[in-house]
Amino acid sequence: MEIHSRMPELKSLSSEILLHIAKTLNVPLKGLIAVIELLDEGGTVPFIARYRKEATGNLDEVQIRDIEEKLSFFRELESRRETVLRTIEEQGKLTDELRARILATMDRTELEDLYLPYKPKRRTKATIAREKGLDPLAQYLWAQEATSVPLAEFALTFIDAEKGVATADEALEGARHIIAETISESAEFRKALRKVMFDDGVIVSSKSESAVDEQEKFKMYYEYREPVSKIPSHRMLAIRRGEAENVLYFNIELDSDKPLGHLRHQILRQPGDWTPHLELAIADCWKRLLNLSIQSEIRLELKQKADAEAIKVFRENLSNLLLAPPAGALGVLAIDPGIRTGCKIAVVDATGKFLDHSVIYPFQPKNDVAGSERILKQLIAKYNVRAIAIGNGTASRETDSLVREFLARESLREVFSVTVNESGASIYSASDIARQEFPDLDLTVRGAISIARRLQDPLAELVKIDPKSIGVGQYQHDVDQTQLQKSLESVIESCVNRVGVDLNTASWALLRYVAGLTERTAQKIVEYRNDHGAFRSRVEVNAVPGVGPRTFEQAAGFLRIRGGVNPLDSTAVHPESYPVVEQIAAALSLSIDDLIRKPELLDKVDRTALAAGTYTLNDILEELKKPGRDPRDKFVAPKFDDNAREISDLKPGMSLEGVVTNVTRFGAFVDVGVHQDGLVHISELSDRYVSDPNDVVKVGQIVKVRVLSADAKQKRIALSMKSGDAPKRPSRAPEPKPEMRMEDKLAALADRWKRR
């Protein structure tokens, strides 16, 4: 009753669709409707998740994004459904039964199957046969009912030289073409045969005869077979990439007896002189019409599933990378290592402001160690440097050793050094954002500045880079790029709003991801800040051109002002809830400043007297106990083994500390400081059975690993996170996945680095 009364607000979504979404996502119907209304009003996902919990029933951000995705899907489905109904009705072929089936479906593929017989198409063999007047003969065969006239005699009546039917056999052949097309356009048959091919089909890939694969990236797929139902996303994407590069070709093999047997069982009802012709039509339908068509649909389905899986992996890795612990506000000297061209240095202050740059040449051919250390000492002293960030590219370990020895010799115990992942720094240095920030600096200096800022605050710096260039994806260039970009943008938006943004120091590149803000309004905020000085309150944002009441409502709670006129502006408490905080302070006879300084007094608050819902009030009180808290973990620098600098230094059994750089569905890659990531296969992640590597590790995590093997020539390292001496415990899964072959593991590792 409630649904139907509010239908106009939900833009034509039927009650059946709403119930279907609620059931599929396992969310309360009331919360679902509230989310849809808030989204339709222009609400952003972070804002709804954080500040409209009373309306949604405390649905979290993941649930709200799922609703947003389903909403988009079903609105597109509804639009397509209207087109299909209108088109069939214009043809005068829309029966009540067909209308009911079209209105009832929740599946886009099924909708297209129902539309297929009425879809405008080129002339086919069946079309030509119908033009020759052979439809009644096809209907005779399809009906399978004995009559007083034998089939042979009945077929003779369709001979017509003017229509191009010279013999009874030609008439029967045309009738079979009509039947074959009828079968191929049946929604029920197509659905059933898709399932048969998915359940029983086998992906078969082979090397193309003219293929050139010098590095043998796709060697394991030269002669490869795997069931359609079991092939994982990374192998499907690898095979597709091999096909795109003209190294491989693949198809789906299926024993024809299975689809033919299914069709015969469904179509043949009783024997008669029509039976041989129906069997011929069925065989023709499968071979000429259905096999390739269904195979194309399954290939597309596998591609979409692989894309979704790869994007999910990328999302998880990107989220963990963006939320990596920040070193915080401290002066940083960054070094972008190099050998022949020298090591580029950039210094930034505690706010990330660029101060100075230089170049040192400690390695061959100059080997100017003394001069390099002199420059380091001068810069550290001049700019009160507290951390040295070293890019993890070429010569990073040599540079790290130089810096550590220098710090120890100079007794600079208050300064620490750490290796920083520099993936994408070169992309940033050549970007429009970098040119706007540092128009007069060389690309190499911009890259060093980015490395320094990544140490201070990974989130604030990485948002300036195309997420696909950060290096934590899995076949990211092979998936649907529009879907990938949209998905990654939502991850960045989620992370930025979860942490919050300092309104007086954030770049426009960071501000654009704040809920409610666009790139244009973010740039206007920075321009206003440059012209008028630092913001003193959140309310002042309303003076920025382009920021209206709706934008302010969405963004305000995620903007932070340190040391402003209102201490609540530094917290996640939304301005709309300031009266509640004032009510709390008044009840305790405290100022808001005192309330924040004495969070223990909040336990004395009489919640029943406050004008706020339970969820909102809980959030307010939690925030006041730890105002402006950063949800990210505390920063800890990894410690690489000084005895392991190159792959050749690694020996089986060696224990090392490393940093997880990427997580895939088949394992995790770990940087152990030898210029080449090692692979911890999923079977080596834990002593227990692991179905998803993300349950065990995440990007940026510091882990202990043991070397299984190291091949310097092939640049392949196999690692383990198992305890080594722990007994293997049986899998808790009913049917554990088979372990990937070692050549599969190593090929996957090699392929990743070649793609880099």
| String of DSSP letters for 52-117 | -HHHHTS--HHHHHHHHHHHHHHHHHHHHHHHHHHHHHHTT---HHHHHHHHH---HHHHHHHHGG
Backbone angles phi, psi at 357, to 5 degrees: -150, 160
Q: What average pLDDT score do residues 581-609 get?
A: 88
What pLDDT, on the 0 to 100 scale, is given for residue 640? 80
Q: Please say if the pLDDT value at position 740 is more than 80.
A: no
Say if residue 19's pLDDT is above 80.
yes
Q: What is the DSSP letter of 270?
A: S
Q: Are 428 and 374 in contact (CB under 8 A)?
A: no
Instruction: Note the residue count of the chain.
Output: 756
Query: pLDDT band at 724, cuts 50/70/90?
Result: low
pLDDT at 280: 97
Please measure the distance between the N-terminal and C-terminal CA atoms of the chain and give it in whole angstroms.
56
The tally of CA atoms less than 13 A away on the side-chain side of residue 204 is 8
The residue-averaged pLDDT of 200-224 equals 91
Average pLDDT over residues 306-334: 92
Q: For 362-371, 386-395, 662-671, 726-735, which range has the lowest pLDDT when averaged over its residues?
A: 726-735
Fold of 2-118: Arc Repressor Mutant, subunit A (1.10.10)
Q: How confident is the model at residue 467 (pLDDT cuts 50, 70, 90)?
A: confident
Give residue 723's pLDDT. 85
Average pLDDT on 97-112 reads 95
What pLDDT, on the 0 to 100 scale, is given for residue 469? 82
- Quick: pLDDT tens for 514-533: 999 999 999 999 999 999 99
User: At residue 724, what is the residue type?
Assistant: G
Collapsing DSSP to helix, strand or coil, 342 comes out as coil
- In sequence order, the 6+-apart residues with CB closer than 8 A to the CB of 274 are 140, 141, 144, 151
Q: How confident is the model at residue 129 (pLDDT cuts 50, 70, 90)?
A: very high
Mean pLDDT of the chain: 90
Residue 194 binned pLDDT confidence (cut-offs 50, 70, 90): very high
Query: What value does the mean pLDDT take over residues 1-14?
Result: 52
- In the block, which residue shows the tokens 């994982």? 232
Tell me the mean pLDDT in the region 406-431. Answer: 90
Task: Report the relative pairing of strands 655-664 and 667-671 from DSSP bridges.
Answer: antiparallel
Averaged pLDDT for residues 358-377: 94
Q: In CATH, what number does 131-313 get? A: 1.10.3500.10
What tokens does 111 get? Answer: 């909708």
- Position 730 pLDDT exceeds 70: no
Q: For residue 328, what is the DSSP state?
A: -
The stretch 21-28 carries a mean pLDDT of: 96
More confident residue, 478 or 289: 289
Across the chain, which distance is largest between two alpha carbons, in Å?
Answer: 110
Q: What is the pTM of this model?
A: 0.84
Distance CA 341, CA 172 (A): 80
Question: Tokens standing for 197?
Answer: 């091919």
Classify 413 as helix, strand or coil: coil
% residues pLDDT > 90 (the chain): 73
pLDDT of residue 556: 97
Model confidence at 8: pLDDT above 70? no
| Arithmetic mean of pLDDT, 5-28 | 79
- Give the residue from 354, 351, 629 showing the smallest Cα distance to 505: 351
Percentage of the chain beyond pLDDT 70 is 94
Q: Where are the domains of the chain?
A: 2-118, 131-313, 332-456, 647-755
On the question of a cis peptide bond just before residue 365, with omega within 30 degrees of 0, the verdict is yes
Nearest Cα to Cα of residue 101 among 11, 177, 222, 191: 191
> How far is the CA of 657 from the CAs of 95, 305, 391, 517, 674, in angstroms?
69, 35, 18, 41, 12
> Rounded to whole angstroms, how far apart are CA atoms 307 and 698?
20
Sheet with 202-207: strands ordered across: 223-227, 202-207, 248-253
* pLDDT in the model for residue 11: 58
pLDDT value at 480 more than 80: yes
pLDDT band at 741 (very low <50, low <70, confident <90, very high): very low
27-65 burial string, b = 16+ CB within 10 Å, else e? beeebbbbbbebbeeebbbbbbbbbbbebbebbebebbb
CATH superfamily of 647-755: Nucleic acid-binding proteins (2.40.50.140)
pLDDT digits (tens, 9 = 90+) for 220-267: 999 999 999 999 988 999 999 999 999 999 999 999 999 999 999 999
Predicted confidence at residue 12, as pLDDT, reads: 64
Name the pairing type of β-strands 716-720 and 678-681: parallel
Fold of the 332-456 domain: Nucleotidyltransferase; domain 5 (3.30.420)
The secondary structure of 564-625, three-state, reads CCCHHHHCCCCHHHHHHHHHHHHHCCCCHHHHHHCHHHHHHCCHHHCCCCHHHHHHHHHHHH
Per-residue pLDDT at 641: 81
